[in-house]
Amino acid sequence: MKYICSFFIWSVFVSSAYTQQFISSDLPIIIINTVSSIQDEPKISGTMAIINNGTGQINKITDAPNDFNGNIAIEYRGSTSQWFPKKPYGLSTTDANGVDINVSLLGMPKESDWVFNAAYNDKTLMRDMLCYILGGIMEYSPRGKYCELVINGEYQGVYILMEKIKRDKNRVDVDKLNIGIMVGDSLTGGYIIKIDKPTGSNSNVGWNSPYPAIPNSQQTTYFQIEYPKNEDINTAQQNYIKKHINDMEKAIAGPEYRDPIKGFRKYIDTKSLVDFIILNEISKNPDAYRLSTYFTKERDSDGGKIKFGPIWDFNLGFGNVDYCTQGNPEGLVITNFNQVCGGDGWVVHFWWNRFLSDANFYVDLKLRWKELRSKKFSDEKIISLVDSLNNLVAQAQVRNFKKWPILNEYVWPNYYVGGSYVNEISHLKEWLLLRMKWLDKEWKINGVNVDDSLNIENMVISIIPNLTNNIVHLKMRYPIKTTMKIRILDVSGKSFNVGTIKLIDQNTIEIDASMFPQGHYFVQITDIGKVKTYRFVKI
């Protein structure tokens, strides 16, 4: 279908805008007009005009569009969020014939697929934006820009124009697959997988995990292939990624899951996993690990690892929920959700407790938290970020809550009803400070920690790192045997040959780590088929 001239529709809108007393904004103004009523798929055609005079400038409804003025296809999006009167939308930018075209909107990198986040039940209007900005610690986190939205002549309030999760060099940057790829290295990546509710008539191809989500339960976890899309994936690709994830699950469930060679590290990029957990826990996201959970598989030639992320959907995080985890700033979602919310049909898969039961991995997570708290996640930085977002929407939120007068009302699943925007922001700040204080205590770590939980027959009495002269000593309970093989491994499980290993006496091994870069290392001792793994950290 060819679209009506976008300038004509924008001109018609301007005459009705004054009757709604929406004249100007310090946020970009986005005007959408459609040829029929918007629905929950398929998308319908329309036009979009964006007025954006720049940071610190006032945008007037009578200004000519200067950021974008063209054709779109639009629909409702979301699952539960569609219940609300303020709807979220998904849209594609198109040419006059309805073919998707990549464009830059509000300074964000060019793409054709976009999301309008309504933030209806988040009365701060910022929980998603807050976590996506914190998500800058990962390889990619969705970008978003605040705006005020008008659809078919009716003011809709404050929205966040956001990037949709999609394979793209400027979004989820995994290798492109096409339907003709059936063998070789190209078959091994990239893939985007998600754990989420299957929604819509075009639900993604997927499979059920062969492992119960909770031991001895009948509940299963469904993996959906987000990329390639159904129409672009072949059977060989489906079979490959399913087998790869099944193999990974087998390693996670197996008795050697903590082994750096045979366990989950063989498959998973642990840095992305650590950051993914931290972001979901700092927000105490009640949907964490069980819904809106994405991970990717890169090509074997690029390392072949599973990387967790991008993060998505935090409107119920940061204490904005009155069920299960509730507004309590204490407790971990990753270890407690299935206990405090056992009646929920969407459960946390068995992986996550398994990860944290690996003491080496948990030390890595605590060290990362300590690093972030000293810099990007300090109290000062995070409260300053909340204040910055508050300043962005300070004027526009007044119009938003005049359109949607809910500040004194409970909107599912609010734990807190503040009665004013100022109170909502104050509550969020208080909750954040309490949450970070609790995590500091829960994830406290002093100096260098070493895991001896893999110690078979109490072979090693102690592992003592001397950070002054870069020497590590392993004191053995019994005399060291000539049959023992000793290796140093890096965090990926590969042998690390820098430095020397020598015997100091019959019970002591010395490792010279002076040439080691800063990081985490494993000492692996093999003797008569038994493998013992110990860990040290060079700071």
CA distance 289 to 108: 28
Q: What are 510's strand-pairing partners?
A: 473, 502
Phi first, then psi: what are they for 81, rounded to 5°?
-65, -20
Spatial contact of 72 and 93, defined as CB atoms under 8 Å apart: yes
Which positions of the chain have pLDDT values less than 50?
1-19, 201, 447-463, 465-468
SS3 482: coil
* DSSP 8-state symbol, 135: G
Long-range contacts of range 451-454, CB-CB < 8 Å, 24 or more positions apart? 451/359, 451/360, 451/363, 451/534, 451/535, 452/534, 453/258, 453/359, 454/258, 454/532, 454/533, 454/534
Residue at 436: amino acid letter: M
Peptide bond into 228 cis (omega under 30): yes
CA-based nearest residue to 73, from 51, 93, 50: 93
What is the model's pLDDT at position 492?
A: 65
Q: Is 483 helix (H, G, I), strand (E, B) or coil?
A: coil
Q: Is the pTM of this model over 0.85?
A: no
Of 34, 31, 89, 86, the residue nearest 59 (C-alpha) = 31
pLDDT for 200: 55
Which sign does the torsion angle of CA 156, 157, 162, 165 carry? negative
pLDDT value for 501 = 76
Q: How far apart are CA 242 and CA 238, in angstroms?
A: 6
DSSP characters over 343-357:
T-SS---THHHHHHT
What confidence score (pLDDT) does residue 15 get? 41
- Over residues 231-282, the pLDDT tens digits come to 999 999 999 999 999 999 999 999 999 988 889 999 999 999 999 999 999 9
For residues 142 and 172, give the distance between their C-alpha atoms in angstroms, rounded to a whole number.
9
11-22 pLDDT, tens per residue?
444 444 333 589
| CA max distance for the chain | 91
User: Which tokens hold the place of 234?
Assistant: 């072949």
Lookup result for tokens 């390693």: 251
Residue found by looking up tokens 């993914």 in the block: 276
Sheet strand arrangement including 293-297:
206-208, 222-227, 191-195, 293-297, 306-308
Structure tokens, 427: 């509550």
Token pair for residue 124?
């701060």
Mention every residue, 6+ apart, whose C-beta is less than 8 A from residue 522. Answer: 260, 360, 488, 489, 490, 491, 493, 533, 534, 535
Q: How far apart are CA 409 and CA 421, in angstroms?
A: 12
pLDDT of residue 440: 97
pLDDT at 260: 81
- State both tokens at 148: 């005020």
Which domains, ranges and CATH numbers included, belong to the chain? 6-163 (no CATH), 185-374 (no CATH), 379-442 (no CATH), 456-538 (2.60.40.10)
The CA distance from 168 to 219, in Å, is 34
> Both ends of the chain: CA-CA distance in Å?
62
Give me 144's structure tokens. 């978003």
